[in-house]
Amino acid sequence: MKEKLTNNTFQVNEKGYYGKFGGAFIPEILHENINRLQKAYKSIIESQEFIEQYYKLLHDYAGRPSPLYFAKRLSDKHKCRIYIKREDLNHTGSHKINNTLGQILLSRKMGKTRIIAETGAGQHGVASATVCALMDMKCVVYMGKTDINRQNLNVRKMEMLGATVIPVTSGNMTLKDATNEAIRDWCSNPDDTHYIIGSTVGPHPYPDMVARFQSIISKEIKSQLPEKENRNYPDYLIACIGGGSNAAGTIYEYLYDNRVKIILAEAAGQGIHSGHSAATIHLGKIGIIHGSKTLIMQTSDGQIEEPYSISAGLDYPGIGPMHAHIAKQGRSEILAIDDNEALSAAMELTRLEGIIPALESAHALGIFQKKQFKTNDVIVVCLSGRGDKDMETYYK
């Protein structure tokens, strides 16, 4: 059931909640770390010195702004005006660098000397290892054994960058399990270690912090679109959603603009009711995962269900609290895209535009198979990453 939409409801409140979702449910040993982060993050990231350092790195190191590309042949096929926000062209091949650059600067200002991260598809792991190499900091990345097997290229990149990649063999050996192990590490090393969470999940202030660092995506869309369409807003924004970082960045500057409709694609896997999916917003119930109250795929007795998706980056049984909130408020429309629809959409973009998308991004593109648009609709799709890491899956 959709809740009544009210003004000023989409941003996190001072207690770390988006409506009834969010908060910080953490072990006692992490209270000091989290409390310090909660008190410090806004003053640090809003300081002029931080902003100048961060934007200089985004421009000179990450290669921003990323292009906003008019996909003419894709537009002709689907009879609307489709623009692709090319996050795949960033350094490291995805949007993840936007967040890791911000968090590595933050961690240095807080006196940390060691970085840990979790990763599913490997893109966040690569982006974390990259900024640690840049800043000469130790880096440990936790990655499920299942994901190591299907994303081996990114494992090699992380190791070449100097990171220690620790295989996780508990549970389904995917993103949820990697996150569990990263949190255990943090509990054992609270003094010198900063945990770079890669998505808008986890205890407050992580969901808000990651969304802020990713908001550069929608800031750029707003500045790039007038040159192409003589207005600074699209009719639709489309992104894939696992934890929710690229989606948060894509919609951040438009959340209060009712002219802009938001459509997010979550992973239906082998079918939304097959028992093999990661369609958390469709199937989830309220619970607590990794320090946050949000929607979670769980059994009737509250046990977390193992998610499944052909895409390692969407293979998560929870969702960022911001996204749980805006979906329940009716601000976003959530469509479930299955494996075959994502694969078909990836091939379509590749053959029509010469761009090979990441499997995660392919779910966003799959929306064009589900929904019809008007001829004059202006649509911006976030292409969150490139498909190099997924070539073995595409070839199967």
- Band the pLDDT of 4: cuts 50, 70, 90: very low
Q: Is the CB of residue 357 less than 8 Å from the CB of residue 83?
A: no
Arithmetic mean of pLDDT, 160-165: 99
Arithmetic mean of pLDDT, 316-324: 97
pLDDT in tens, 248-270: 999 999 999 999 999 999 999 99
CA distance 279 to 267: 5
User: Active-site residues: which are they?
Assistant: 96, 118, 384
Q: Quote the pLDDT of residue 209.
A: 98
- Band the pLDDT of 7: cuts 50, 70, 90: very low
Q: Quote the pLDDT of residue 193.
A: 97
88 has a pLDDT exceeding 60? yes
6 has a pLDDT exceeding 60? no
- Band the pLDDT of 9: cuts 50, 70, 90: confident
Q: Enter the DSSP assignment of 270.
A: T
Arithmetic mean of pLDDT, 177-185: 95
Burial 301-328 (b: 16+ CB within 10 A, else e): eeebbbbbbbbbbbbbbbbbbbbbbbbb
CATH of domain 24-58+95-205: 3.40.50.1100
CB atoms < 10 A from the CB of 159, how many? 13
CA distance 1 to 328: 7
N-terminal to C-terminal alpha carbon distance within the chain: 40
Q: Is the CB of residue 253 less than 8 Å from the CB of residue 221?
A: yes
More confident residue, 372 or 9: 372
Q: What is the DSSP code string of 144-172?
A: EHHHHHH-HHHHHHHHHTTPEEEEE-STT
Q: Quote the pLDDT of residue 269.
A: 98
Q: Quote the pLDDT of residue 396.
A: 78
Calculate what percentage of the chain has a pLDDT beyond 90: 94
CA distances from 315 to 167, 215, 277, 297, 320 (A): 17, 23, 8, 11, 13
Q: Quote the pLDDT of residue 370.
A: 96
Residue with token string 């440990």: 140
- Band the pLDDT of 222: cuts 50, 70, 90: very high
The reported pTM is: 0.96
> If phi over 0 gives left and psi between -120 and 50 gives alpha, with beta otherwise, what is residue 56?
alpha
Arithmetic mean of pLDDT, 55-76: 99
CA distance 382 to 247: 8
Residue with token string 């900063």: 194
Q: Quote the pLDDT of residue 1.
A: 36
| Residue 309: alpha-carbon gap to chain centroid | 15
Q: Quote the pLDDT of residue 18.
A: 97
Length of the chain: 396
Strands 81-86 and 292-296: unpaired
Q: Quote the pLDDT of residue 2.
A: 41
Phi, psi of 16 (to 5 degrees): 90, 20
Topology annotation, domain 63-94+215-395: Rossmann fold (3.40.50)
Task: Supply the mean pLDDT for the chain.
Answer: 95
CA distance 104 to 113: 10
| CATH 3.40.50.1100 location in the chain | 24-58+95-205, 63-94+215-395
Q: DSSP 3-state assignment of 257?
A: coil
Task: List, edge to edge, every strand of the sheet that includes 68-70.
Answer: 68-70, 81-86, 378-383, 236-240, 261-269, 332-338
Arithmetic mean of pLDDT, 17-25: 97
CA distance 22 to 120: 22
Q: Which amino acid is at 114?
A: R
Phi, psi of 106 (to 5 degrees): -60, -45
5 has a pLDDT exceeding 90? no
Query: Out of 3-7, 29-33, 76-80, 275-279, which region has the weakest mean confidence (pLDDT)?
Result: 3-7
